[in-house]
Amino acid sequence: MPLIIDTDPGIDDMLALLLLLATPKATAELKLISLTYGNCALEATLVNALSLFYVVGKENEYRATIGLPEYTDQRPIIALGSRHPLNGVEAVNATDVHGNDGLGGSHQTHPEYTCPKEWVEMFSPGAKEPEETFPFRIGRQESHLEILDILRSEPENTVTILAVGPLTNVAKAAAADPQTFSRVKEILSMGGAVRITGNITPAAEFNVFADPLAASIVYALTSLRPQEMLPTGTSESYLQLPKPLDLTIFPLDITTKHVMTSKEIEQVLDSRIARHPGSWLLKWVKIWTKLSLEKMEVVYGWPDAPLQMHDPLTAAYSIDPANGWTLEELDIRVESAGSWCLGKTLTDDRSRGSIDNNPHDYHRWHMSGSGNKVKMVTGSPYPEFGSFLLETLSKLT
């Protein structure tokens, strides 16, 4: 199964990436890591993604000394994407949660785990291409164009796009080439807060709030009548998609129920580090997860606040969607204008029947054939997701 991840790494994004790298290509082949702004600036997300491969390389050297195979057989393209939302306004960030570098400040406290500067310089225009033995390939186009190239090269309806940051790159790909974009099998998006409060404002979840226009567009492309659902002034190109988009979202309603605790980190990582003190990967993951747990205590104001596993949960579904998940299809829309509720994802829970041509059905919530058709994940097969994730990532024993 070909897979693209559009991501803004980010603590939980990095755990999602590690989960995908730990998955054999025969199960899900990671074709592209498409980077975007979000948890931190785009330049910081690049350093984090490259540092991941740097540490995995060091981990492979250690694993060779103890007779274990390499951590991953994946060799994706890495490409730089958007630096700001579709409308060009200044990007919001979540550095209060993820640290200025996106990894809890670990690049400053433990610089030995940071990728060489030469790796970052390889992404400069005109830079020399790395050798075939390098652990990743470099995308020379903006990442939404790399997304389209993969959709062209893979069989139609086979590529899943896993979007765990703002939806800017996805919306740009749909606008740039609607026919090619429609070849996508599905979009899996971590975002939204449908029946609970948000996390960046009382109304909105961060990824949707970061670019509510892009989110509103992507959600509207699930509609049989996207012209009714698209925000006013949206490009006509979005109406050229030949079929509705298959979109599944993982809102805070489900992701906040899946956490990683300090106790789980101690029980799983500490025991494996004790057995494998030379493991670069295990020690690195422990550094920034512990730093993030300290930030959670400050953000939420109570001790032992857990890490919420938003993005890794979405990644777990992309790898094994048939494993006991529950979903609900709803007309979910995104508020792309306003002051207090910007970025809110909402559905209609008024329990009213559908009556066509009802003059009081404002915004067509009950008109047959109108509205968005979004699948929302409501249940998972992982009662103790933190332990499952750590045990999967630390596959040394």
Question: What domains lie within the chain, and their CATH numbers?
Answer: 2-258+307-348+368-393 (3.90.245.10)
Report the pLDDT value the prediction gives residue 355, as an integer from 0 to 100: 66
Classify residue 64 by burial, with Cβ atoms within 10 Å: 0-12, 13-18, 19+: exposed
Q: Tokens 């990436």 appear where?
A: 17
Q: Are residues 38 and 49 in contact, defined by beta-carbon separation less than 8 angstroms? A: no
Classify residue 83 by burial, with Cβ atoms within 10 Å: 0-12, 13-18, 19+: middle
What DSSP line would sit under 199-245, residue for residue? SSSSSB-HHHHHSHHHHHHHHHTTSS-HHHHSPTT--GGGGG-SS--
> Can you name the residues that pair with 77 across neighbouring β-strands?
32, 137
Q: Are residues 20 and 161 in contact, defined by beta-carbon separation less than 8 angstroms? A: no
Report the pLDDT value the prediction gives residue 299, as an integer from 0 to 100: 73
Closest Cα partner for 348 from 364, 360, 336?
364
Report the pLDDT value the prediction gives residue 353, as an integer from 0 to 100: 61
Q: Which two tokens mark 56?
A: 């995995």
pLDDT in tens, the chain (397 residues): 999 999 999 999 999 999 999 999 999 999 999 999 999 999 999 999 999 999 999 999 999 999 999 999 999 999 999 999 999 898 898 888 878 888 989 999 999 999 999 999 999 998 988 888 899 999 999 999 999 999 999 999 999 999 999 999 999 999 999 999 999 999 999 999 999 999 999 999 999 999 999 999 999 999 999 999 999 889 999 999 999 999 999 999 999 999 999 999 988 999 999 999 999 999 999 999 998 888 877 777 777 888 999 999 999 999 999 989 999 999 999 999 989 999 999 998 876 666 666 666 667 777 677 799 999 999 999 999 999 999 998 876 4
Q: Are residues 254 and 380 in contact, defined by beta-carbon separation less than 8 angstroms? A: yes
- Residue 88: DSSP 8-state: -
